[in-house]
Amino acid sequence: MAKKSDLKKTKESSETIKDPTIGIDKDFFDKYDLYANKQSEHPGRKSDREELYFSRMVDLFMFAMTNGFNKSRDKKIDFSKRKVLFNWRHLHEQDIDLIRAIVILHDKKIKIDDPEKLLSPKDMVEIIESYANGGFKDFIDSVAGSEFEIKLLELLNKEIED
């Protein structure tokens, strides 16, 4: 008969696979709060959210991921330096569609041997985190300085045009 602790581990593993955490390098974590609302704060009520450049941490993550992918800036995160931003369940369907597209294009570049990796949220997270990490570093470098808002608008417009 299975032990209760074994059943708990199996359940946790199953939940982690279905709803993995998504993170970023801890060196960028504090800067993240400057540009996006925390996912756990102000759930659901937009009127309570602060007026920041990105209304959700997911939005900033998606921007950084896309920016990193477009500029081929994938930067793996050392697991000991990884800080969790949010869980997979916070992604909208259109976010997941974009993630799948990036993972498929990434697969074409590096030829993933196991196509199942394209279907598993847990496996996709490793790929998208590396692009977001590289894209966020590029974002921070791009907007650093006194003309932050002008640089941010220029960067957003450039991403839209590309």
pLDDT in tens, the chain (162 residues): 444 444 444 344 444 567 899 998 888 887 777 777 664 454 444 544 455 577 788 999 999 999 999 988 888 888 899 999 999 999 999 999 999 999 888 877 666 666 666 668 888 898 999 999 999 988 888 776 656 667 777 777 777 776
Which amino acid, 119? L
Would you state the pLDDT for residue 158? 76
Q: Which residue has the tokens 């931003």?
A: 85
Q: Is 43 helix (H, G, I), strand (E, B) or coil?
A: coil
Q: What is the pLDDT of residues 3-43, one digit of tens each?
A: 444 444 434 444 456 789 999 888 888 777 777 766 445 44
Domain residues of the chain, as ranges? 28-161
Q: How far apart are CA 18 and CA 20, in angstroms?
A: 6
Q: Which residue has the tokens 């941490």?
A: 57
